Amino acid sequence: MQQRSICVFCGASDGVDPAYGAAAEQLGALIADHKMRLVYGAGDVGLMGRVARTAQANQATTFGVIPQHLVNWEVGKTDLTSYVVTENMHERKKVMFMNSDAIALLPGGAGSLDEFFEVLTWAQLELHQKPIVLINVKNYWDPLLALLDHIITQGFAQASVKYFFKIATTSTEAIELLR
Reported as half-sphere exposure (CB side, CA atoms, 13 A), residue 59 has a value of: 3
Residues 6+ apart with CB under 8 A from 125: none
Residue 73 is predicted with a pLDDT of: 86
Give the residue-averaged pLDDT of 113-135.
97
Domains in the chain, start-ordered, CATH in brackets? 5-178 (3.40.50.450)
d(CA 161, CA 28): 28
In contact, 121 and 158? CB cutoff 8 Å:
no
d(CA 81, CA 92): 17
Residue 176 is predicted with a pLDDT of: 95
pLDDT tens-digit series, residues 88-110: 999 999 999 999 999 999 999 99
Residue 1 has pLDDT above 80, yes or no: no
Q: Which helix (H) or strand (E) holds 8?
A: strand 5-9
Average of per-residue pLDDT values in the chain: 96
Helix ranges, 17-138 (H) = 18-33, 46-57, 89-98, 110-124
pLDDT tens-digit series, residues 135-179: 999 999 999 999 999 999 999 999 999 999 999 999 999 999 997
pTM of the predicted model as reported, rounded to 2 decimal places: 0.96
d(CA 60, CA 3): 11
Residue 74 is predicted with a pLDDT of: 85
pLDDT tens-digit series, residues 60-87: 999 999 999 999 888 899 999 999 999 9
d(CA 4, CA 70): 27
Residue 145 is predicted with a pLDDT of: 98
Residue 2 is predicted with a pLDDT of: 78
pLDDT tens-digit series, residues 22-41: 999 999 999 999 999 999 99
From residue 165, alpha-carbon distances to 61, 86, 138 in Å are: 25, 27, 18
Residue 14 is predicted with a pLDDT of: 97
